[in-house]
Amino acid sequence: MSELKHWSPADQIALLFALLFGLLLLITAGGVLYRLKNPVEELAINPRSARAQFQRDLNASWVGALLFWLAWISGPAGSTILFGLFSFFCLREFITLQHTTRSDHRTLIAAFFIVLPLQYIVVANRRFDLFTVLIPVYAFLAIPVISALSGDPKRFLERNAKIQWGIMVCIYGLSHAPALLLLEFPRYAGKGAFLLFFLVTVVSVAQIVQEVVSRSVRSLPTVRAISRSFSRRAWWSGALAGAFVGALLYWVTPFKAGQAFVMAFIAAASGTLGALVMKAMKREAGIHYWGNRSGITGAVGLLDRVAALCFAAPIFFHSVRWYFKLSV
């Protein structure tokens, strides 16, 4: 382990990817073997079964790992474009299920073709002072102004809130992932990928543990109307599991073990709570997954996979900045 410290950051990151993909391959191979052993499993057909949930979680992990790897090998410009595209597809899914009207047309054009590229251009140029305020300050004034100029007062506040939420989650939240890659920390140069890896791992572990606990431990759902599986106990298990994994991974981060535990807890807790918020939105829209299986939208369900990250990334990002005492 002490030898590893002398490796260059690039080599350390290469080793990290080798471990990550090796682990995923092992789990996938295990899943395939399980399916071979139990070939006729009727549960597999039911999209709400544990087996289907496991498959979804595994797919999500693959997507996350590949995304992370692509972001790393393609450098700052590549990772910015990549996450920009993901933002675009997520926002497209989000807006599809919100019932925007004809008078929202210009507002949506501004969201997709002005706010989104602008935010990612600012990230690519590492203008972190502007990056944190561009959407909450400037875009959130501009969007309702464009809506007002469309001259339709019907459900004005509701329509604006929906679009602003879409921007907040799908653009602002997700753009913090490449920001983590690009942010230079003192004594921690070139290792931004470790922070993103730390974040993604901790959030995924928290989600998976929460899911497993809610299935295996009987406890009262806290908010039955929104989620049957969300309970206080499951949430605490998930967040703490994420925190423990984070503490175990402290050596890839600039933190000490105890600090890594706290940081991981913050990320895991905000990620799982964010997923609950997205679930509430899905309930309002009357669907079960963003990319609905019955083929309503034809989406791939990307938003389902990155929703927790959208919430965890900004909180984690600012906690890290605070830790390094970087001025805003």
Where on the chain is the footprint of other proteins (CB under 8 A)? 88, 91-93, 95-97, 99-100, 102, 105, 108-109, 112-113, 284-287, 292, 294-299
Local structure of 325: helix, strand or coil: coil
Tell me how far, at minimum, the Cβ of 99 lies from other proteins, in Å. Answer: 8
Tell me how far, at minimum, the Cβ of 106 lies from other proteins, in Å. Answer: 8
Q: Between 113 and 322, whose beta carbon lies closer to other proteins?
A: 113
Phi then psi for residue 253, to 5 deg, are: -105, 170
CB 189 within 8 A of CB 9: yes
Tell me how far, at minimum, the Cβ of 53 lies from other proteins, in Å. Answer: 20
CB crowding 269-287: b at 16 or more within 10 Å, else e: bbbbbbbbbbbebbeeeeb
DSSP of 2-22:
TTGGGS-HHHHHHHHHHHHHH
Whole-angstrom Cα distance, residue 241 to residue 201?
11
Q: Between 92 and 321, whose beta carbon lies closer to other proteins?
A: 92
Q: Between 6 and 102, whose beta carbon lies closer to other proteins?
A: 102
CB 194 within 8 A of CB 16: yes
Tell me how far, at minimum, the Cβ of 190 lies from other proteins, in Å. Answer: 34
Tell me how far, at minimum, the Cβ of 86 lies from other proteins, in Å. Answer: 13
Q: Between 91 and 310, whose beta carbon lies closer to other proteins?
A: 91
Q: Between 90 and 245, whose beta carbon lies closer to other proteins?
A: 90
Tell me how far, at minimum, the Cβ of 105 lies from other proteins, in Å. Answer: 5
Identify the CA nearest to 116 among candidates 95, 76, 86: 86
Q: Between 230 and 290, whose beta carbon lies closer to other proteins?
A: 290
Tell me how far, at minimum, the Cβ of 172 lies from other proteins, in Å. Answer: 18
Is the torsion defined by CA of 142, 147, 151, 155 positive or negative? negative
Q: Between 186 and 286, whose beta carbon lies closer to other proteins?
A: 286
Surface-to-core class of residue 55, CB atoms within 10 Å of its CB (0-12 exposed, 13-18 middle, 19+ buried): middle
Question: How many CB atoms are closer than 10 A to CB 224?
Answer: 10
CB crowding 102-120: b at 16 or more within 10 Å, else e: ebbeebbebbbeebbebbb
Q: Between 27 and 287, whose beta carbon lies closer to other proteins?
A: 287
User: 131-135: which pairs have CB atoms within 8 A and are 24 or more residues apart?
Assistant: 131/175, 131/179, 132/318, 132/328, 135/167, 135/168, 135/171, 135/172
Tell me how far, at minimum, the Cβ of 28 lies from other proteins, in Å. Answer: 27
How many helices, marked H, and strands, marked E, lie in the chain?
A: 13, 0
Q: Between 168 and 285, whose beta carbon lies closer to other proteins?
A: 285
Residue with tokens 């393609």: 74
Tell me how far, at minimum, the Cβ of 289 lies from other proteins, in Å. Answer: 11
